[in-house]
């Protein structure tokens, strides 16, 4: 098995490997969530963006 080139390659392989739509959506959501967490830890995303994702996750559509 060859080593993947980058993080997005790993995620795409994971998403494409699962033919089940629910598993693919879960893998895609996890990859976005991980990107948000890492960017927030590095200071690239502020609390307003993080709160927006929390509201969207809780299905609170009124912003």
What is the count of structural domains for the chain? Answer: 1
Range of the domain at 53: 7-57
Mean pLDDT value of segment 46-63: 73
Asked, for residue 2, whether it belongs to a domain, the answer is: no
Asked, for residue 63, whether it belongs to a domain, the answer is: no
Residue 37 has pLDDT above 50, yes or no: yes
Residue 1 has pLDDT above 60, yes or no: no
Map tokens 């502020």 to a residue.
46
The contacts of residue 50 (CB under 8 Å, 6+ apart) are 36, 40
Read off the pLDDT of residues 8-35 as tens digits, 9 standing for 90 and up.
Answer: 566 666 666 666 677 767 777 777 777 6
- Rounded to two decimals, the pTM is 0.32
> Rounded to an integer, what distance in angstroms lies between the CA atom of residue 3 and that of residue 62?
44
Asked, for residue 23, whether it belongs to a domain, the answer is: yes
> Rounded to an integer, what distance in angstroms lies between the CA atom of residue 5 and that of residue 15?
16
**In the structure encoding, which two tokens stand for residue 17, read together?**
């490997």
Output the pLDDT for position 25.
73
Asked, for residue 16, whether it belongs to a domain, the answer is: yes
């Amino acid at each position: 098995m060859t080593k993947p080139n980058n993080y997005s390659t790993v995620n795409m392989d994971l998403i494409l490997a699962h033919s089940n739509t629910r598993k693919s959506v879960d893998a895609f959501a996890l990859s976005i969530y991980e990107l948000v967490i890492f960017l927030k830890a590095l200071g690239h995303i502020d609390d307003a963006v993080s709160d927006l994702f929390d509201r969207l996750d809780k299905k609170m559509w009124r912003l």
